[in-house]
Amino acid sequence: MNTKRRLFLKGSMAAGAAGVAMSAGLLTPGMVLAAWNEGAFKAKSVDEALSALMGSSSTEAGKIKIKAPDIAENGAVVPVTVSTDMGGVDTIAILASNNPTPLTSSYELGEGALPYVSTRIKMGKTGKVIAVVKSGGKLYSASKEVKVTIGGCGG
Amino acid sequence: MSLSRREFLQVLATASAAGFTLTGCDNSQPSSTAAGVKPKKTPNNPYELPPFGNVSLLHYTDCHAQLMPIYFREPQVNLGIGQMKGRPPHLVGHHFLKYYGIEPGTREAHAFTYLDFPELARKYGKVGGFAHLATLVKHIRAQRPGALLLDGGDTWQGSGTSLWTNAQDMVDAQIQLGIDVMTPHWEMTFGADRVQEIVNKDFAKAGIDFVAQNIVWNDENFDLEGERVFKPYTIREINGIPVAIVGQAFPYTPIANPRHLISAWSFGINDEAMQEVVDEARAKGAQVVVVLSHNGMDVDLKMASRVTGIDAIMGGHTHDAVPKPVLVDNAGGKTLVTNAGSNGKFLGVLDLDVKNGKVAGFKYSLLPVFSNLIEPDPAMQKLVEKIRAPYADKLGEELAVTDDTLYRRGNFNGTFDQVIVDALLEVMGAEIAFSPGFRWGVSVLPGEAITVDHVMTQTAITYPNVTLNAMTGENIKNILEDVADNLFNKDPYYQQGGDMVRVGGLKYAIDPNKDFGNRISDMTLNGKPIEAGKKYAVAGWASVQETPMGDSGKPIWDVVMEYLRNKKTIKVNDLNIPKLKGVEGNPGIEL
């Protein structure tokens, strides 16, 4: 079982999770650092963050799959997976619309990496998880509502 | 057969009545008289269900550890909001009777509605009880060889004995009853280790499958992350036909109940995984696929519209007793959705006619378990007596006498909850009290003594401590808004089940149709508006935090018992229900 899981992990990593893309030599730490954009990560709104990060906040609806819970089990670590069938993807950004600083993370994909990112984000309160994908110089986005609740009182 | 499957299903659905009708004047003798069911009491024995088809599934759910016959008042307020307005299960009282064509004042009317509750409860007697349920199960099974018995969960929690025996009493009763498959919710509040102990020892030995497609290891267990903790489904052969039973545990267990008790497990609705599991079961040869669900009925209905290949979802959690299945269209055909009430009050019987590898027809009955129409099963009665004997004196202690019917169920408050919040205010010296909107807990009739047994059915949980905190008006508003959204969100996938938190002291108004943050208004305390920045002394219980703020160290039952012993007589003069806005004409409320 463990072997199987490890093989699976290897497979999915090779398929493009950013962390592994790095260890596979597709990205170097220097490149990741180069991508750090203080203005974008400190921006107080989705539009502001996108403008700072991607140079524009205008996006088209894209065939992007977001896997995230309907209601978060723990707002401090909400699992989010973003993937797309689009080709030529060089950036995937994940934003939480109602966070004080909405941009949670941005991934620069090297050539040949499949557009698949799996991560954990922190959400202060209920809002949209927005995935923005840059493909062929254009921006595409999709979103999913994730509820953050104080819990209790069920059943 | 010239009808298509779809047409045929529709015809049968219309033709199959609720199954339990005592109002007819049919003099025909019952086809068979199985031991234990008393046919003499009524000319038309409600428990004579002529067998139909070749695959039968019996289903009970949310019994909440009620081993003994009890009274249980159905809700007077069960609002459906948005698309759910006026649709089953969101019908109460006269609206319910009219929708299902049930005569007022009948046994059936009493089983399914709150109408004339204390009078009809005295007339028709108690409901449920495992010894009576056991007789009924044996009787129905005798006519349906190979039938499976499905337990929809919320079985291990809800009584003094289940708490004090660490759920062993209910596990023994389930095995004695002969359940085949189970899926969980409140079971989880006994902690992950205890759940696995029961599943791997007691259940494994008894051949019971504990199924849940939507419980996976989370990143606390790196090596297993994403893998299922339990079997997602089981395939059992009934009369030579492979039948898959897929488990769907309560999706929001780590949110509605303490996450720290099952910290390495992640839940969720997981439609896509459900679809994969259904497809896999079909590929393995299952001719019938049934989901044993603890979603809650609104979630079941939405899931049935999105996932294809499921013949029936047999559900629970929201405690809705729904006499007829709802047929839901989806891209692959139709799926039946049934929900089977709570507290051991009902047994659902689904008969399927499977021909050429497909379901060609069905009949469904939701049988109320009237304890005085059914002889108790001797072996089960002996077990129940053995379980209760060590605690008999304690359980039987009479704490006070009630002048009013005490009940819990309803969207906003129940009389028993009023007693609980009154007790919290008085014993804890609080200005405002909160009590969770649970849907379990039995009813007590006017003139009856309130016993420790009764109090435990309202309070027996593994995280019972009372808290006392200073909260700002803003905090209080946020809590009310949060809980209201869990109940009234227009999208069922964002609901958690349960009812509105019950409040003592505080008055407020609510418009369930509004969006998050805008439902609650007009909050007052002793006639004065609540101030956002001012702090108030708030008592509550059942915190889901591992180390609750303001923990008094006192379990809620001690607080309630102390209050009852002091009062001696209980009269609920002022049932604190919020002022309701925007619900005129909604058939989910009769006030």
Q: How far is CA B523 from CA B337, B411, B440, B579, in A?
A: 39, 18, 28, 10
Range(s) of the domain holding residue B246: 5-23+45-65+133-384
Please give the structure tokens belonging to residue A144.
Answer: 């999913």
- Residue A35 confidence (pLDDT): 53
SS3 B521: strand
For position A153, what pLDDT does the model report? Answer: 57
Neighbour-count burial of A51, counting CB atoms closer than 10 A to its CB (0-12 exposed, 13-18 middle, 19+ buried): middle
B268 with A155: Cβ contact below 8 A: no
Q: What is the pLDDT of residues A60-82, one digit of tens each?
A: 999 999 999 999 999 999 999 99
Q: Between chains, do B268 and A151 touch, taking CB under 8 Å as contact?
A: no
Based on the fold, state whether residues B356 and B416 are members of the same structural domain: no
Domain with B260 in it: what CATH number?
3.60.21.10
pLDDT at B43: 47
d(CA B110, CA B89): 16
Q: Do A154 and B224 touch (CB under 8 A)?
A: no
Distances in Å between the Cα of B374 and the Cα atoms of B173, B206, B444 are 18, 26, 22
Do B356 and B405 lie in a common domain?
Answer: no
Residue A111 has pLDDT above 90, yes or no: no
Q: Predicted confidence band at A54 (pLDDT cuts at 50, 70, 90)? A: very high
CA B472/CA B476 separation, integer angstroms: 6
Alpha helices in B265-391 (DSSP H): 271-283, 297-306, 378-388
- Element housing B367 (H / E): strand B358-368
Residue whose structure tokens are 């199954």: B19
Q: Which of B384, B416, B431 is the last residue of a domain?
A: B384
Residue A88 pLDDT exceeds 60: yes
Q: Do A154 and B497 touch (CB under 8 A)?
A: yes
Phi first, then psi, for residue A32 (nearest 5°) are -65, -45
The helix/strand count (H/E) of chain A reads as 5, 8
d(C-alpha B455, C-alpha B444), whole Å:
10
Residue ranges of the domains in chain A?
2-146
Residues B463 and B345 in one domain: no
Question: Cβ–Cβ of B257/A155 closer than 8 Å?
Answer: yes
Instruction: Tell me whether residue B97 is in a domain.
Output: no
- Is the domain of B524 the same as that of B546? yes
User: Would residue B127 count as lying in a domain?
Assistant: no
Q: How far is B490 from chain A (nearest CA, A)?
A: 13
3-state helix, strand, coil in chain A (%, to 5): 25, 35, 40
The closest CB to that of A70, out of B439, B494, B501, belongs to B494
Distance of alpha carbon A124 from alpha carbon A75, whole angstroms = 7
Nearest partner of B310 among B243, B249, B370, judged by Cα: B243
| Whether B330 and B401 share a structural domain | no
Model pLDDT, residue B229: 98
Are B497 and A145 a contacting pair at CB < 8 A? no
Which one of B350, B384, B418 terminates a domain? B384
* CA gap B540, B59 in Å, rounded: 35
Q: What is the pLDDT of residue B24?
A: 30
A28 at the B interface (CB within 8 A)?
Answer: no
DSSP state of B211: B
Structural domain count, chain B: 2
Q: How far is CA B8 from CA B18, B113, B527, B553, in A?
A: 18, 31, 60, 60
Q: Which of residues B334 and A124 earns the better pLDDT score? A: B334
Q: What is the pLDDT of residue B496?
A: 86
pLDDT string in tens for chain B (591-residue length): 333 444 334 433 333 433 343 323 333 333 334 455 654 444 468 899 999 999 999 999 999 999 999 999 999 999 999 999 999 999 999 999 999 999 999 999 999 999 999 999 999 999 999 999 999 999 999 999 999 999 999 999 999 999 999 999 999 999 999 999 999 999 999 999 999 999 999 999 999 999 999 999 998 998 999 999 999 999 999 999 999 999 999 999 999 999 999 999 999 999 999 999 999 999 999 999 999 999 999 999 999 999 999 999 999 999 999 999 999 999 999 999 999 999 999 999 999 999 999 999 999 999 999 999 999 999 999 999 999 999 999 999 999 999 999 999 999 999 999 999 999 999 999 999 999 999 999 999 999 999 999 999 999 999 999 999 999 999 999 999 999 999 999 999 999 878 999 999 999 999 999 999 999 999 999 999 999 999 999 999 999 999 999 999 999 999 999 999 999 999 998 899 999 999 999 999 998
CB distance B56 to B566 below 8 Å: no
For residue A118, the SS3 value is strand
CA A53 to centroid of chain Cα atoms: 13
In this prediction, residue B31 carries a pLDDT of: 37
Chain A nearest-CA residue for B319: A155
Chain A residues with beta carbon closer than 8 angstroms to that of B486: 149, 153-154
Residue with tokens 């609740």: A149
Confidence band of A151 (pLDDT split at 50, 70, 90): confident
What angle, 0 to 180 degrees and rounded to 10, lies between the N-to-C axes of helices B378-388 and B168-177? 180
Partners of residue A153 in chain B, C-beta under 8 Å: 256, 436-438, 483, 486, 496, 498, 501, 542
Which residues touch B17 (CB under 8 Å, ≥6 apart)?
none
Assigned CATH topology for domain A2-146? Immunoglobulin-like (2.60.40)
Q: What is the pLDDT of residue B498?
A: 87
pTM of the model: 0.90
Q: Which pair of structure tokens corresponds to residue B175?
A: 């095995």
Structure tokens at B415: 């009389």
What CATH number has the domain bearing residue B452?
A: 3.90.780.10
Alpha-carbon distance B126 to nearest alpha carbon in chain A (angstroms)? 23
Give the number of other Cβ atoms within 10 Å of residue B136's Cβ: 24
* Residue B331: per-residue pLDDT: 97
Question: What is the rounded CA–CA span in Å between residue B415 and residue B422?
Answer: 10
Tell whether B143 and B273 lie within a shared domain.
yes
Pairwise CB contact (< 8 Å): A153 & B256: yes
Token pair of A61, please? Answer: 């609806």
- Domain end among B321, B351, B384: B384
Chain A residue numbers touching B154 (CB-CB < 8 A): 155
Q: Quote the CA–CA distance of A16 and B146 in Å, as a whole number.
A: 50
Which of A18-22, A40-44, B440-444 has the least mean pLDDT?
Answer: A18-22
Chain A residues whose CB is inside 8 A of the B409 CB are: none
Place of tokens 């046919």: B39
- B256 and A2 within 8 Å at the Cβ level: the answer is no
Grouping H, G, I as helix, E, B as strand and the rest as coil, residue B584 is: coil
